[in-house]
Amino acid sequence: MIQRDSLAQDLRARLRIPVMAGPMFIASTADLVIAQCKAGIIGSMPALNPRSTADLDRDIARISSTVGDTPYAINLVAHPSNSRLEADLEIVLKYKVPIVVLALAANPDLVARLQANGSLVFQDVAKNRHARKCAEMGVDGIIAVGSGAGGHTGGISPFALMAEIREWWDGLLLLAGAISTGRSVLAAECLGADLAYVGSPFLASSEANTQDAFKQMIVDCAADDVVVTDCFTGVPAMFLRPSLLAHGLDPSNLRRAEGKRVNIDGGGDNAKAWKEIWSAGQGIGAVRISGPAGDYIDWLAGDYAAARKAMGRN
């Protein structure tokens, strides 16, 4: 495994600011990855977002031929329930994707296979004990998902989670959870992160596969408009209150029978929560406008520079 100092220095030297985009289910697209990389951060996309493995092949071919030396990442759901895992993995190996983010399962054989092919392997975790398991597998980077993160969220304060992991882990460490300003990127570094992991602000970007109403909801909403519930997936996740209300659901009275999800407009267990009930993290209050991802990254870089100057870190 590459030593943290050299890996962190190499990645940061290739980036405009120390930021990696979080891969967002449905929302992240090849166009968004390209825009993120061109603007100077690590772009990312779930392998399952393209509708087929053949589509994934075409998307990664376009990304890899366009972004130059800026690294990009593909997110693989490593859980056995992912029927496309092996086929999608072959595409990731074919293009020697620079960074692979594993989620929902710890698979040491998968880690070894990817690393042998030249990919850096990151894994997201929400608890210290999960981070230890990933370290034992030899991952190159750990993504600490703190409270406030969008999607399947963490439940531990980033102050506590980062302190617990940094007590024993000297490897590459990223922090996720309500990071949407340059000041919060700098704060993540102060907590011991090598890179900040930014997701929800990109939901409002032009290149995201999100409806216009979803983009506007990101602009209009703030932390108070985000609800944490396990009703839709069985795991705590963040959803937008106006989206719940629009489907006739009471955000303060969400209940589900054991093993069942809440009905969405009569959709029952077949309803696609992420598509119909929209998710976002608590950092969306800083998103003031919907537009190109590059414009947001330009603002983020300027805010980061101003924060560094204000803290005397130039």
In a domain, 215, yes or no: no
**What average pLDDT score do residues 81-93 get?**
94
Given pLDDT bands bounded at 50, 70 and 90, which one contains residue 2? very low
Whether residue 155 is found in the same domain as residue 254: no
Given pLDDT bands bounded at 50, 70 and 90, which one contains residue 254? confident
In a domain, 140, yes or no: yes
pLDDT tens per residue across span 96-112: 999 999 987 778 999 99
Contact 73, 95 (CB under 8 A): no
Between 232 and 20, the more confident residue is 20
Whether residue 148 is found in the same domain as residue 272: no
- Residue 22: pLDDT over 60: yes
Percentage of the chain exceeding pLDDT 70: 92
- Residue 289: pLDDT over 80: yes
Whether residue 55 is found in the same domain as residue 102: yes
In degrees and rounded to multiples of 5, residue 60 shows phi and psi of -65, -35
Whether residue 245 is found in the same domain as residue 190: no
Q: Which residue has the tokens 């705590």?
A: 236
Helix or strand run (H / E) with residue 65: helix 53-66
Whether residue 261 is found in the same domain as residue 300: no
Whether residue 88 is found in the same domain as residue 187: yes
Given pLDDT bands bounded at 50, 70 and 90, which one contains residue 270? very low
Contacts of 301 (CB under 8 A, 6+ apart): 16, 17, 40, 182
In a domain, 216, yes or no: no
pLDDT tens per residue across span 127-146: 999 999 999 999 999 999 99
How many domains does one find in the chain? 2
Whether residue 196 is found in the same domain as residue 236: no
Instruction: Show the domain range for 264.
Output: 222-276
Mean pLDDT of the chain: 91
pTM of the model: 0.91
Whether residue 137 is found in the same domain as residue 258: no
Separation CA 130–CA 205 (nearest Å): 32
In a domain, 283, yes or no: no
Instruction: Write down the pLDDT at residue 1.
Output: 45
Separation CA 212–CA 167 (nearest Å): 43
Instruction: Write down the pLDDT at residue 269.
Output: 39
Other CB atoms within 10 A of residue 217 CB: 23
Whether residue 16 is found in the same domain as residue 61: yes
Between 228 and 257, the more confident residue is 228
In a domain, 22, yes or no: yes
